[in-house]
Chains A and B, each alone.
Chain A
Amino acid sequence: MKVGIIVFPGTNCDRDTKWAFEKIGAKADFIWHTEHNINKYDLIVLPGGFSYGDYLRSGAIAIFSPVMQNVSEFAKKGGYVLGICNGFQILLESHLLPGAMTRNENLHFISKFHHLKVINNENKFLQNLNVGDIINIPIAHAEGNYKVSNETLKEMYDNGQVILKYCDENGNELNPNGSVDSIAGICNKQKNVFGLMPHPERAMDSILGGVDGIKMLEGFLK
């Protein structure tokens, strides 16, 4: 599998993401944001970081980068796209995923391991996990307070687009940032575009605190 990792000015999880995909046997390249040719890839990843210094709103400026036009076309043709953290924020701003992010309810930048519950696994990303599984993945963000209209939220539940929620180690709802319904990760209706605030690429080795990210990223290999 060939993974293309988009790098914007201010992206800072690109190398971790490349390392993570190579660890599970994929080939991964960096794609600078001014490039256009992304069609040879099986998966496009928008990694975490602070693209364009988070100016105006997180992800708001990145959507005008030349490569984003191609990412949009790639997604609309059914290509797989994964946005992690700032990448998720960029997918929201580009309307490839529904909703928007606001500042964490407690105003803090939260950086720690957090448990997540699998809500829906009928998609490529989480196919190696079971509904109800509890996994432990680091989060690191100041704007992860997910907001979406009630109408759209209902549609998202009906279509199985709410895929991950924050919880405690026993699976009880635990909301670190104020996200509606404690939502941590979603996908689009066609289930080829995924966004999540937690960082699976940081949970790939027990020496770094956990390996729960492996099963997630491996979903794209099948």
Chain B
Amino acid sequence: MKIAVNVHLKKGVLDPQGKAVHHALETLGFKNVENVRIGKQIILNLNTEDKEKAIQEAKKMADELLANPVIENYEIEVKE
């Protein structure tokens, strides 16, 4: 089963990369962008077909390693 863990900075934590990309987009002429936030996606190929179990396991991985709860939030997404 393929699970994606999407990690992004919490609201209120400044995202300097997002800011720089926002600026670059404006320079390119994209004037409608209000803001840009950059996160990361971690794709896990898990050796199980049990969806609930896979989500639980991915959640544990996110809590213990993949995200830093001080500055980051995460969402879990079942890909297939």
Interface residues of A (CB under 8 A from B): 56-57, 60, 64, 92-93, 99-100, 102-107, 145, 147-149, 178
Residue B68 lies at the interface, judged by CB distance under 8 Å to chain A:
yes
Q: Report chain B residues within 8 Å CB of A145.
A: 14, 16
Q: Report chain A residues within 8 Å CB of B68.
A: 57, 60, 93, 100
Q: Report chain B residues within 8 Å CB of A104.
A: 16
A82 to chain B, nearest CB (A): 21
Partner of B14, one of A56, A105, A148: A105
CA distance A93 to B13 in the complex (A): 17
Q: Report chain A residues within 8 Å CB of B14.
A: 102, 105, 145, 178
Q: Is the CB of B65 within 8 A of A102?
A: no
In the complex, how many residue pairs between chain A and chain B have their CB atoms under 8 Å apart?
A: 35
Interface size in chain B (residues, C-beta < 8 A): 11
CA distance A147 to B71 in the complex (A): 8
Q: Report chain A residues within 8 Å CB of B66.
A: 56
Best-buried of A60, A92, A102, A149 by chain B (most CB within 10 Å):
A102
Best-buried of B9, B14, B70 by chain A (most CB within 10 Å):
B70
A174 to chain B, nearest CB (A): 18
